[in-house]
Structure 1
Amino acid sequence: MPKKVRVNDLVKKFNMEVLCGEAGLRRGITVADLNRPGLEMAGYFEFHPKERVQVMGRTELTFYETLSNEEQLDRVSKLCAEETPCFVVTRDLEVPQSILQAAEEHGIPVLRSGVATTILAGRITAFLESRLAPTTTIHGVLIDVYGIGMLITGSSGIGKSETALELVKRGHRLIADDAVEIRQTSDHSLFGQAPELIKHLLEIRGLGIINVMTLFGAGAVRSEKRVSVVIKLENWQQDKQYDRLGLDEETTRILDTDVPLVTVPVRPGRNLAVIIEVAAMNYRLKRMGYNAALQFTNRLTETIAEDYDDVD
Structure 2
Amino acid sequence: MGEYNVTLPAIAKEFHMEVIFASTDYNSIRLTVEDVARPGLTLSGYFDHFEPRRLQVLGNMEWSYLQKQTPQERTVIFDRLFDYKIPALLICRGLPVDQECLAMAKKHNISLLRSDEPTSSFCSSLISYLRAELAPMVTRHGVLMEIYGEGVLLTGESGIGKSEAALELLKRGHRLIADDAVEIRRISSSTLAGSAPELIRNYIELRGIGIVNVAKLFGMGSVRSRKTIDLVVNIVPWNNQDAYDRLGLEEQYMEILGVKIPMNTIPITPGRNLAVILEVAAINVRQRKLGYNAAQEFTDQINKHFASLEGKE
Q: How far apart in 2 are the matches of 1:185 and 1:10?
A: 18
Q: How far apart in 1 are the matches of 2:148 and 2:94?
A: 46
The one-letter code matched in structure 1 to 2:63 is L
Return closer, same or farther for 1:81/1:187 CA change in 2, 3 Å cut-off: farther
Greater shift in the superposed pair: 87-96 or 73-82: 73-82
Q: How far apart in 2 are the matches of 1:70 and 1:171?
A: 64
The Cα shift of 1:133 comes to 2.1
- 1:128-139 equivalence runs, <5 A: 128-139=130-141
For residue 207 of structure 2, what is the aligned residue in structure 1?
A: 205
Q: How far apart in 2 are the matches of 1:291 and 1:215?
A: 37
CA-to-partner distance for each residue in 1:265-311, whole Å, 9 max, x for gaps? 12233222221111111112212222111011111111222222222
For residue 218 of structure 1, what is the aligned residue in structure 2?
A: 220
Of 151, 155, 158 in structure 1, the residue corresponding to residue 157 of structure 2 is: 155
The one-letter code matched in structure 1 to 2:307 is A
Contact 1:21 1:103 in 2 (8 A): no
Contact 1:92 1:114 in 2 (8 A): yes
**TM-score, normalization: structure 2?**
0.91
Contact 2:85 2:108 in 1 (8 A): no
- 1:32-47 equivalence runs, <5 A: 32-47=34-49
Contact 1:141 1:179 in 2 (8 A): yes
The runs of 5 or more residues in structure 1 that have no matched partner are none
For residue 25 of structure 1, what is the aligned residue in structure 2?
A: 26
The Cα shift of 1:203 comes to 1.5
- 1:14-93 equivalence runs, <5 A: 14-26=15-27, 27-67=29-69, 72-93=74-95
1:193 aligns with 2:210: no
Q: How far apart in 1 are the matches of 2:159 and 2:11?
A: 43
Contact 1:50 1:79 in 2 (8 A): no
Contact 2:189 2:259 in 1 (8 A): no
Contact 1:50 1:81 in 2 (8 A): no
For residue 127 of structure 2, what is the aligned residue in structure 1?
A: 125
- 1:248-287 equivalence runs, <5 A: 248-287=250-289
Contact 2:186 2:192 in 1 (8 A): yes
The Cα shift of 1:235 comes to 1.7
CA-to-partner distance for each residue in 1:219-244, whole Å, 9 max, x for gaps? 33333222111000112222222111
Q: How far apart in 2 are the matches of 1:299 and 1:83?
A: 67
Return closer, same or farther for 1:172/1:115 CA change in 2, 3 Å cut-off: closer
Contact 1:91 1:114 in 2 (8 A): yes
1:12 aligns with 2:23: no
CA-to-partner distance for each residue in 1:7-28, whole Å, 9 max, x for gaps? 2223323333333343141322
**TM-score, normalization: structure 1?**
0.91
1:173 aligns with 2:175: yes
Return closer, same or farther for 1:17/1:222 CA change in 2, 3 Å cut-off: closer
Return closer, same or farther for 1:57/1:266 CA change in 2, 3 Å cut-off: same
Return closer, same or farther for 1:168/1:18 CA change in 2, 3 Å cut-off: closer
Of 296, 301, 307 in structure 2, the residue corresponding to residue 305 of structure 1 is: 307
The one-letter code matched in structure 2 to 1:47 is H
Q: Residue 188 of structure 2: SS of its match in structure 1?
A: coil
The Cα shift of 1:143 comes to 1.3
For residue 235 of structure 1, what is the aligned residue in structure 2?
A: 237
Q: Residue 140 of structure 2: SS of its match in structure 1?
A: strand
Return closer, same or farther for 1:16/1:285 CA change in 2, 3 Å cut-off: closer
Q: Residue 22 of structure 1: SS of its match in structure 2?
A: coil
The Cα shift of 1:180 comes to 1.4
Q: How far apart in 1 are the matches of 2:7 and 2:118?
A: 22
Greater shift in the superposed pair: 73-82 or 83-92: 73-82
Contact 2:85 2:110 in 1 (8 A): no
Q: Percent identity?
A: 44
Q: How far apart in 2 are the matches of 1:109 and 1:40?
A: 18
Return closer, same or farther for 1:139/1:121 CA change in 2, 3 Å cut-off: same
Greater shift in the superposed pair: 126-135 or 227-236: 126-135
